[in-house]
Amino acid sequence: MHLLYFPNAKIVGLDIDNKLIENNKIKNQYRNIVYHSIPWNIPNKSDIIFANSVLCRWPENEGKYTFDTFNNTLHIIDNLLMKNGYLCIYNSKYLFCESDIFEKQGYKKLIRHIKKLGL
């Protein structure tokens, strides 16, 4: 499906679970998809990053996911993002607007602009 919408995209999958990453590498059929388990192994910054159900711990009894962990992870993700890139967060345990980078990196200004446009 990604080839239909993003035929020239390089897609990077990232997860902390090495076993999952190795399994994905084995099953991968696409040359434009690569997988990493360590973010600093990613050589280039990205235009868009999707963090879908990763900034949380599920099930919750699998361990604590503190606000500090959330905040530190956002800093790592933000460093992987190109200037003026898009960060899409879905289903996180904490609110993005409460993180350190929300105001420091200008995300707050972007949200105000989007609201002003009525989007």
What pLDDT, on the 0 to 100 scale, is given for residue 25? 92
* Cis amide bond preceding 59, omega within 30: yes
- Considering only CA atoms, which of 118, 79, 77, 71 is closest in space to residue 99? 71
Most confident listed range (38-47, 70-79, 97-106): 70-79
What pLDDT, on the 0 to 100 scale, is given for residue 110? 74
Task: Using DSSP, state whether 118 is helix, strand or coil.
Answer: coil
- Considering only CA atoms, which of 81, 84, 78 is closest in space to residue 101? 78
pTM reported for the whole predicted model = 0.75
E-state strands within 1-119: 11-14, 33-36, 46-52, 81-90
50 vs 41: CA distance, rounded Å: 18
Residue-wise pLDDT for 59-101, tens only, equals: 666 678 899 999 999 999 999 998 888 888 999 999 988 898 8
Place of tokens 């990077």: 12
Which ranges constitute the DSSP H helices of 28-86? 67-79
